[in-house]
Structure 1
Amino acid sequence: MPLKNFEIRTDFADEWILNHQEDDSFTHHIMQKEGIDLHFIQILKEENSLHKQKGIYVTLAYEKMDDREARLKIASTLQFCIRELLEKMKVTPHKFLVVGLGNRMVASDALGPLVANEIMVTAHFYKDGNFDMKGTQEVAAIVPGVMGQTGIESGEIVKSIVDTYGPELVIVVDALATGSTARINRVIQLNSVGIIPGSGVGNHRMKLDEETLGVPVLSLGVATVISVAAIVKECVPQLDFEQLQEAHPFFHLVVTPKSIDVEMKQLCEILALALNRFLHPDFDKL
């Protein structure tokens, strides 16, 4: 691929708009809550200057999460954003399926499985219709694995379970790619358009969205990896394309920081707490 056509890989909507002037195809609103920067982006038209899918994207950017108080603030803000997004999606679900995408054997890709494992599931209690525990809702969680482990598309597994279980909302959790080293493990994104498993590392699989699954999908992800190309561009911005030509084969490599093991546990705590509190209104009392 010619280097001049190379694009820095990022899954984050607020990074897409950095090099675009605002026009009538999308809106961008910024606010702060609990000291956390929130970006609300809505792509209004199928044909848009960002060349992205029409829908709503929300990102949370924070500076630290290494103490309990900071993580509680992030979780509280994330819970707020989930509610705001669902209100904008105009859905009021009471039966949920949480899908933890990724490979639990790879540190930077284990976010989905780790979070799904911490979700308080209640679907088996609700199954006979006699369960009535106030402050809870009907929730199931799955970890479909990756094709290299199962031989089956994650999307096909999820679709089969959706058809059988019949959730009113699917919440998909996955690891994402950022274009900035400062944002690794420091930015969370929600969207209303779904997700393509493996897209963060360029390994595109079957998309998980309302069209393919038949129910609304809320996608939730964290920046855990960055491409070598993004690092080089950030560190040596004055280099031109011809100077980088020799290094081009390595630009497709995706890396993660050595602190990923510790920070993945912190991220799991944040996402699982926010989701459990959202899914079960009385979670803290149970």
Structure 2
Amino acid sequence: MKYKTRTDLALEVRESFPEDDVEIKGVILTEDIDKKNKIRVSTVVIKDEAGSRAMERPIGTYITIEAPELNNSSDDYHRSVSHYIAKNLKKLTGKLYRDEILVVGLGNREVTPDALGPQVVDNLFVTRHLIREFGDEFKEKNHLGNVSAI
């Protein structure tokens, strides 16, 4: 019986192809490497059905941020990583700031590897209640998005 590796990361699927520089129809891979901070941002864009079949993933954009020094680094390093996360979230969300956004913090805050979702929600600036209370003029004046979280 032949076994197949299963991974959630589109980047790992892309890297599993036997030839390093093989072109996969319908898939674009880009990398941004910050050598100073040792941060790598890899973006896999699955553009069409051919790419979806080859990658065994739905059409979409998949971003992996590798920050190997995250556990034992300074606040400056954490700011650099946060910058890359924010920059890529802005690319993904486009003009969503005009819409309502619901952030779902999935995970178990009591289990370290699974605690990211709840920690993100704990640190969000949730604005839905403010906009309901003070209206759209308040939202526009303060350049706020309409963010809810659970």
Counterpart in the other structure of 1:17: 14
Question: How much does 1:129 deviate?
Answer: 4.8
| Higher RCO structure (Cα 8 Å, ≥6 apart) | 1
Q: Does the 8 Å contact 2:10/2:55 carry over to 1? A: no
Change (3 A) 1:130 1:44: closer
Counterpart in the other structure of 1:37: 40
Alignment of 1:60-71 (within 5 A): 60-65=65-70, 66=72, 67-71=74-78
| Runs of 5+ consecutive residues of structure 1 not aligned to the other structure | 143-286
TM-score, length-scaled by structure 1: 0.43
Counterpart CA distance in 2 for 1:83 and 1:138 is: 15
Q: Point out 4+ residue stretches in structure 1 off by more than 6 angstroms.
A: none
| Runs of 5+ consecutive residues of structure 2 not aligned to the other structure | none
Q: How many residues align?
A: 136
Change (3 A) 1:27 1:130: closer
Alignment of 1:250-269 (within 5 A): none
Task: Report the 3-state secondary structure (helix = DSSP H, G, I; strand = E; otherwise coil) of the residue aligned with 2:126.
Answer: coil
Question: How much does 1:6 deviate?
Answer: 4.4
Aligned residue identity for 1:49: A
TM-score, length-scaled by structure 2: 0.77
Question: How much does 1:108 deviate?
Answer: 2.1
Change (3 A) 1:130 1:17: closer
Moved more, 70-79 or 33-42: 33-42
Counterpart in the other structure of 1:275: none
Counterpart CA distance in 2 for 1:44 and 1:135 is: 32
Task: Report the 3-state secondary structure (helix = DSSP H, G, I; strand = E; otherwise coil) of the residue aligned with 1:23.
Answer: coil
Aligned residue identity for 1:74: V
Counterpart CA distance in 2 for 1:106 and 1:61 is: 21
Task: State the identity as a percent.
Answer: 26
Alignment of 1:219-258 (within 5 A): none
Counterpart CA distance in 2 for 1:107 and 1:37 is: 23
Change (3 A) 1:19 1:136: same
Counterpart in the other structure of 1:139: 147
Question: How much does 1:137 deviate?
Answer: 2.4
Q: Deviations over 1:148-182 (max 9, x none)?
A: xxxxxxxxxxxxxxxxxxxxxxxxxxxxxxxxxxx
Task: Report the 3-state secondary structure (helix = DSSP H, G, I; strand = E; otherwise coil) of the residue aligned with 1:130.
Answer: helix
Alignment of 1:141-220 (within 5 A): 141-142=149-150
Aligned residue identity for 1:32: I
Q: Deviations over 1:199-247 (max 9, x none)?
A: xxxxxxxxxxxxxxxxxxxxxxxxxxxxxxxxxxxxxxxxxxxxxxxxx
Choose which of 86, 92, 97 in structure 2 pairs with 1:79.
Answer: 86
Counterpart in the other structure of 2:49: 46
Choose which of 58, 61, 67 in structure 2 pairs with 1:56.
Answer: 61
